[in-house]
A = this chain, B = another copy of it.
């Protein structure tokens, strides 16, 4: 048993999301209510803030500011991507010791869970009394064991909304602009690209085709798919992500195909959206364009999922209460109770079991043609986006009787 109260340190890691500040809000709110926690500190810019001893005093913030974190996107403490060296781990222990840190809460993805695990191990080796709890956070939704990851519901809602909107745009302009590509985030997995399917309202509405990095991209098959939809509807909305890969495992993008061979050698120039637009124009001779919401998709509060924001808050709260109860070297998980409604319980899992592992979109969530998701995926993902999208009008379009010969 601990005699003295200890200080708590929270850090955010990796890409910002709409929901990670809600987790920090949950952490601070829970810590404020617990007698066992003295100082509540935040690390500026993630683990770099710990290394540099850049800590801020979260008890000094206005309570209203803390509450507003729940509806503030991005990462209010600052974040980073940084791979720690052995020397860095020793420095972390020095900082924890210097500031009497007894609780370390780390919000992030599978790399961050590895960092948190190593911190917990090192503290144990050194007999330093530290409780380390990982708070799951990633729009990529690729942490194992947890049913889903805070951050994903909101990016999924964003992409469902914008794909539906962008699809209506293509439908209205189908006499001229016939093919639209929506390029989502997702380097290693297709969870985000798959979420665009949640915007589909009917058999003919967008998206029509979805390609995920879990299945190799084959240009000939793709062009045939596009042609088939085009011939049926006169328009095609295609969703995919930046991490789409070909049969050799290389990224499908303009740079690997063309730009790398020119004299400029710009590896960054031209992503999958650019590439597919040109592939379609060159081969099918139909006009295509692409939308690439980029980082906008992960930090949109106007399109955030209320379910996601609530769950993010809850995993933050639970992380603190479990740490105070004596748990360490664990990550909070979301455990689905029923299939249809998203009423998740929380659980705990050893950090070691989630660190550095990646959950890909499973086989049963992708259709046989490898060009769309299945009903099982929709059943899994729909509760996460927090309710239906705005209701739009659809005209039934009763045609007026024609009186003239065709205009030729």
Contact = CB atoms under 8 A, between A and B. Distances in A.
Interface string A50-83: 0111111110111001111101111111111110
A57 B295 contact: no
Interface in A236-279: 254, 258-259, 261-262, 264, 266, 268-270, 274, 277-278
B393 A172 contact: no
Nearest to A75: B172
Contacts of A162: 296, 300
A261 B263 CA distance: 10
A15 B173 CA distance: 7
A195 interface: no
A176 to B, nearest CB: 5
Contact of A262 (B60, B94, B169, B258): B258
Interface stretch (A285-293, A326-334, A358-366, A371-379): A285-293
A215 B122 CA distance: 58
Interface string A390-408: 1111111111101110110
Given A77-B395, A264-B258, A296 B291 contact: yes
- Sorting the interface of chain A by its residue count into under 10, 10 to 19, 20 to 34 or 35 or more gives 35 or more
A262 B402 CA distance: 51
A390 B52 contact: no
A175 B404 contact: no
Given A74-B171, A175-B78, A400 B41 contact: yes
A44 interface: yes
A133 interface: no
A289 B294 contact: yes
A171 B393 CA distance: 39
A308 to B, nearest CB: 15
Contacts of A282: 266
Nearest to A95: B404
A302 interface: yes
A408 to B, nearest CB: 10
